[in-house]
Structure 1
């Protein structure tokens, strides 16, 4: 998970771990890219990415991850988390290579449903 706001990160992490997820959190897009690059392929199943962050925003980070020279960079689900719930914002996220868009404040059922859908889609692509 990539989230610069500590409280938002804690809330999202609680929701995710309550549903059985193992969560690693970083504070900006650059850290996300660095952690992903340094990981073994397949280490991460999904990336939850805030959009507006210091150092490197989520849109730039998503584009950078998608451009990496490894197969899982092209296929890992990247889900935007943003307070901007307008259609144009969701479109910008998709154009940057993100797969889905969650509006903040995060809803427990919606986050679970979105992650499940994206993981199913991702797994179907690998079969």
Structure 2
């Protein structure tokens, strides 16, 4: 909540495209989730059960966001991680939608909506980054 309130670290770089370019680059589902702050159905992606080594990149700009070593089984229905790959790749924003206060996570490079972060994850961070699989590409 502190970063959402006080400001995010600077991104490692910036990628900006107009709406038409994002629509051309992404599938309709990827566009709905990443550019319109949508959410995929819980348990709709096989990525929840994928625990092979590798990195998870932003589907919009290709920025490496999470490493498989921080992924865990949360049972939430979305891929979950306990920390981003590096400081500055994920941005945090207060989200008061749907009658609750949450912290939205976005790609700090291209502003793609990723999901939300919650304070109920495992150690060492105690955080659960609950991320839409459609916002990620596994490499």
Instruction: Place the TM-score, normalised by the shorter chain, in its bin.
Output: under 0.3
TM-score (structure 1 length as normaliser): 0.26
Larger fraction in helix: 1
TM-score (structure 2 length as normaliser): 0.25
> Which structure ranks higher in relative contact order (CA pairs < 8 Å, sequence separation ≥ 6)?
2
Larger fraction in strand: 2
CA radius of gyration, larger in:
2
